[in-house]
Chain A
Amino acid sequence: MPQSIPVLNAAAMRRALTRIAHEIAERNEISSEVVLVGIQRGGVFLAGRLAAFLQSIWNHPVPVASLDVGMHRDDLNQTAAPNMHPTVIPFDITGKTVILVDDVLFSGRTARAALDALNDFGRARRIQLAVLVDRGHRELPIKADFVGKNVPTASKERVEVRLEEEGAPDEVTLQRL
């Protein structure tokens, strides 16, 4: 039987995201330069939530975009083609501080693909990475700038992030096989 171990409940997730928003605000003094880009799927919802927290800190709306990295993955001929979700970046990222948002940071390959994909949309002034969970096991020299929670895992375990936007109560669990 797979074992499900709670990592973050709804309240803890909210606290983690609030803290990340404050860290983003602290690190980036010129708030008008900051845009959020969520990585499909979970990262898009989290980027939307961070935007709301940042708006209450900065008192102005923060642009949000969604990015699907499926076309830039490095394992396209090893696994079945990924389901594609829309990439919608309704603003120019050139000169902006882009906060990439993802739910889980694992091998780092998704983040690498996202960096590649973003290149096609312009030359950002700088790119920072925000993740809800960092579970370790990096395969590339990539590091998150903002982390909700560090979770030590075994490489075979799965981290499951459930979000209200997808119809389940907010929760992060570790699935131990």
Chain B
Amino acid sequence: MAWNKKHLLDIQSLGADEIVTVLDTARAFKAVGERAIKKVPALRGKTVVNLFVEPSTRTRISFELAAQRLTADVVNFTAEASSLKKGETLKDTARNLEALNADFIVMRHSASGAPHFLSRFLRSSVINAGDGAHEHPTQALLDAFTIREKRGKIQGLNVTILGDILYSRVARSNIWALTKLGARVTLCGPATLVPRVFEKMGCRVTYNVEEAIADADVINLLRIQHERQRKTMFPSIGEYTSLFGLTKARLALTKPDALIMHPGPINRGVEIDSEIADSARSVILDQVTNGLAVRMAVLFLINGGQGPQGVTA
């Protein structure tokens, strides 16, 4: 189906058919990355600004490379080295970037809703690269792509998201995407980090990790985000590992073909046993490769005009 969204702000407002369009398009772009010449001219002459007001390495590099492989020009803008530090407002910073004729603004911000705010007054397209604890749409799209690639489908699969759900934009975007595509989502972690309110998003919530992983086709592990939480959420990292970490003993309880996913960066020995992270069951590095393809697809689709699809003859 034809894509006609100007921005990618969240998964919540996407339809299942739009998500599938991104995944289908990403498949074509993954193939580009496997060629000797890994570049296509689709965004020639376009400018992509990475506006990262919160630190990030992998997402920024992934978007940067995605833009370059589409032949766009890329400017990286990080908060530490910017006039935001000198007191400029976010709105003024964004307007200045737009005055340089940026076509796309890829934004990471610690405040939920910051990309939505920009999209209300910018002519540029805004892509949310993670806003606070709200959403991280391209992460959910790459996770869905990886599941579909490895399993051939998403409909009907049991997906367990294990860890810090409360502070996780990855969890929220994944829940939206997976439930829209027909998966059954189970959330598990310390009760303080997995409030029952998530049941309203259509998820099963359990605090028993063995129960959460037993019937899972996919186990998506989330990092404990030290930077986002107060010390009171759970007693210690050691206790977290013993109660919820994916150890070899727990792995033995899972379906033999269950996929192990993690959005990175992983904390070896905390939420995941080091050997499991490197095992054949882990698709963590596939997620990184697929992230590039998905971000190329998102830039490509958004770059499309608002008109009907062209005739190809």
Binding site for B on A (CB under 8 A): 68, 70-73, 75-88, 102-107, 110, 116-117, 120-121, 135, 158-159
Contact = CB atoms under 8 A, between A and B. Distances in A.
B308 interface: yes
Given A70-B28, A80-B2, A120-B37, 15 more contacts: A71-B28, A71-B29, A71-B40, A76-B42, A78-B310, A79-B309, A80-B304, A80-B305, A82-B309, A83-B1, A84-B27, A86-B27, A106-B313, A121-B35, A121-B36
Residue from A75, A76, A86, A104 having most chain B Cβ neighbours under 10 A = A76
12 contacts: A71-B40, A71-B42, A80-B306, A81-B2, A81-B300, A84-B24, A84-B29, A87-B31, A104-B313, A106-B313, A121-B36, A159-B313
A58 B39 CA distance: 36
A105 to B, nearest CB: 7
A77 B24 CA distance: 19
B4 interface: yes
A74 to B, nearest CB: 9
B310 A79 contact: yes
Nearest to A79: B310
A77 B21 CA distance: 17
Contacts of B313: 102-107, 110, 135, 159
A80 B300 contact: no
Interface of B: 1-4, 21, 24-25, 27-29, 31-32, 35-37, 39-42, 70, 300-301, 303-313
Given A79-B310, A81-B304, A105-B313, A116 B3 contact: no
Given A110-B312, A121-B35, A81 B25 contact: yes
Contacts of B27: 84, 86
Contacts of A83: 1, 21, 24-25, 309
B295 to A, nearest CB: 14
A66 to B, nearest CB: 11
Nearest to A80: B2
Contacts of B25: 81, 83-84
A65 B134 CA distance: 44
